[in-house]
Amino acid sequence: MTATVFSLFIFVIATFGILIALLVQDDFSVRYVANHSNHSLPILYKIAASWAGHSGSMLFLVLLFSLWSLLFCYTKRHRFNQESQRALAFLGIINAIFLLFLLFFSNPFTRIFPAPLEGGDLNPMLQDIGLIFHPPLLYLGYSAFAVVFAITLTYLIKGKFPSSFALEIKPWVLIGWVFLTLGIMLGAWWAYYELGWGGWWFWDPSENASLMPWLVATALLHTLSANIKSKAFPYWIILLALCVFILSLLGIFIVRSGVLTSVHAFAQDNSRGLGLLLIFCFFSLLAFGFFATRLKIITGVARYNFWLYLLLGANLLFSVATFIVFLGSFYPLFYHLFELGSISVGAPYFNKLFLPLVALALIGMNAIFLPRNKIWRQWLPYLLLCLLSIIIGYAVTICYTPTVDTFSWQAFLFLSLAFILIAFTFWKSMTAPRNWGMLLSHTGVALVVFATTMTSYFTQTQNIALAPHQNTNFAGYHLAYKDFQNLLGSNFVTEQAQFLFSKEALPIATIYTEKRYYDVRDVQMSEIGINSTLKGDMYIVMGDKRGNGAFAFRIQYKPFMIWLWIGGFCMALGGAISLCQRTQGKYDD
């Protein structure tokens, strides 16, 4: 059976390599190449085009399914029992179904005759380093959850879950969670510097598609930790393990079917939506059918304590958050299907319902660190750290209030909770170092909350028209529009403005912002000029032309923005450390 899985992987990777070769060689007799590439496209983007379109991305997904199947075989090489064979059979079914989908719905090797002399173009929004790596990272996460799904179904059919079940699936959950975290953060980073609207999260369906399985995977990780320690939440683990893969399939359906309009879904194709919907429905019915009919009553449930009740509350929070995202993403579609008219669900809906859940989650994360007894000497450091963090949160809020003219109690609340989490995590690492992966991930969450709060409530904005050699003062800095020039790129022409960024006559950096024109698609794109420091980002967007090198510019100063990306990296790094500790047998839950 191992030879069969290895052969599948070799054939699929060879097929994907052929697709890349066709793109690099500009073989426009292949429809996929003609639609997504041309002679002037840089070779790096030609390679990225192999997963930028619908057919190529589905082939890439099958490649990842076969990769994880092979890795699963490798990890079971010394104890390949009947359960392992069944799990591998389910992985084979997943591979087979998606291969059939490629063959009948989305063949990337369809030929056209006569072949055009020149191809189309990769969407200019995708011609960026962020979008080269963002989709593969998400697909690595989605596909890793297939192993979790296969193992869970295996024991569901058997009707009995071994005591080692949580330990068996946790590495695969960690793998999927780490890749999904990196993919989400890279996508947010791309949206921040590429789309030009100044934010990093739009509550767009394509963003929500990856957020839903991430929320469920986060809940599953915490539930697995509780089960490994005390055998608690067995039903939660089974249900979440099934849902994380089902929601991953839903994410693929959202982005690749074209059923939902997205501001930056990197490919859409309505004709293949039915096939993806059938795949999603098949696996959903399979999973929940087995869950309803084969699951037997699990005895020996642990006696609950304070820590377990917190985790139960966390599961409920993550479940509610996932439902909120699902409802906000699909409600406009349901509204239209029932011929009730058209309706849009935007950021106000998500923010209003999501922010209280985030606050409750932060309170719960802080409460986990508190002592379990009533000895006041053990409580005293935490009380002092809590008080100090609240004072710092208030001081930061007061310090930045003049930039927005109004004191924000919401900003004060989230800053205080973030500082408390950082302080508690630091104290825990100093007094009782145990799970460094968990501590680093929680620190990353705190940094993300801190940076998000600062940029959401204290961003400063100026809209101004400037000509070369004019300047402006903004957010305590001096910006001089030094020069303007027209440049020729590899497959575009650009208008570029050069700014000198300084403070108190001391130069800090030179910032370039552009407006690019891609003639193949007749599309104009803004390239944002950003100078990032640990203290904040200066963010310049080039707007409409006013003549003789003069343009309208939107200038923003975003305090502590870079800590958002640092925090996201810390979260993923913490998960990777936990995975390494787990695989080396040193994992301490």
* Residue linked to tokens 């089974």: 238
pLDDT computed for residue 546 by the predictor: 86
**Whether 157 contacts 86, CB under 8 Å:** yes
pLDDT digits (tens, 9 = 90+) for 520-554: 777 888 889 999 999 999 999 998 888 888 999 99
Whether the per-residue pLDDT at 148 is higher than 90: the answer is yes
Tell me the pTM. 0.93
pLDDT digits (tens, 9 = 90+) for 12-56: 999 999 999 999 999 999 999 998 888 888 888 899 999 988 899
- What pLDDT digit, counting tens, does each position of 549-576 carry? 899 999 999 999 999 999 999 999 999 9
Residue 457 has pLDDT above 50, yes or no: yes
Q: Tens digit of pLDDT for each residue in 407-425?
A: 999 999 999 999 999 999 9
The answer on pLDDT for 300 being more than 80 is: no
* Percent share of the chain, pLDDT over 70: 93
- Condensed to tens digits (0 to 9), the pLDDT of residues 98-138 reads 999 999 888 999 999 888 888 887 777 777 887 788 899 99
Query: Residue 20: exposed, middle, or buried by beta-carbon count in 10 A (0-12, 13-18, 19+)?
Result: middle
pLDDT given at position 15: 96
Across residues 318-335, what is the average pLDDT? 88
Q: Which long-range contacts link 88-97 to residues 24+ away (Cβ below 8 Å)?
A: 88/1, 88/5, 88/150, 90/149, 90/150, 90/153, 90/154, 91/65, 91/146, 91/147, 91/150, 92/5, 94/65, 94/146, 94/149, 94/150, 94/283, 95/8, 95/62, 95/65, 95/66, 95/69, 97/279, 97/282
